[in-house]
Amino acid sequence: MLSKYLTAAALVASTALSAGDIGLVNFNTCAQNSMLGKKEQESFEALKSQMSTLIGDVEKQLREVSEKLQDSDYLDTLSPQAETELKQKFQTLSEEHARYQNQFYQMIQQANMRVVQTVANSVQEAAQEVAKKHHLKYVLNKEACFFASDDLDVTTEVISFMDTKFEKENKEAKSQLAEVPKE
């Protein structure tokens, strides 16, 4: 994080730049307000929900078996073999639960990284277009600045470019799907 600030400071200090050479983009705003960012967030939430449901089902089964194992009256009605099977089921469910939780955290981490990378690539592309349009030498992440004048902010324009590209790609994808013969 510190390296971002030092890099931006060194960049500005090393060259004589005017305010007209720099534009700033708020990455978080792009991620939250662009169509791509919203779609990626929806996909992320759907994955999270699906995995939570799966883990919740295993937790429910685990809780039921645990309650049975703690109920001495219930255990008294079981044969030694049935009690052993119940304990094995508890062990198996515990291992399955731990495995699902581990997979859940790994998938969430990977999905989050994919979302950030996808949005970052789109922001970068849009920032290049805005820079060309306004003849900017640099478009920096606003978070890398301790202070910046609001008149340097090009976030809205970057989001507009991102949304235009997103809409175009969605239209192309839909038209390609429409062209695929159905069997």
Q: What is the pTM of this model?
A: 0.72
Helices 80-134 and 35-70: crossing angle in degrees, nearest 10, is 170
In tens, the pLDDT along 32-79 reads 999 999 999 999 999 999 989 989 999 999 999 999 999 989 888 989
Does the pLDDT value for residue 120 go beyond 50? yes
Q: Which of 8-12, 75-79, 145-149 has the lowest mean pLDDT?
A: 8-12
Q: What is the model's pLDDT at position 43?
A: 93
Rg of the chain in Å (alpha carbons): 26
Domain layout of the chain by residue ranges = 2-158
**In the structure encoding, which two tokens stand for residue 28, read together?**
């978080």
Q: Which of 121, 140, 102 is nearest to 21 (CA)?
A: 140
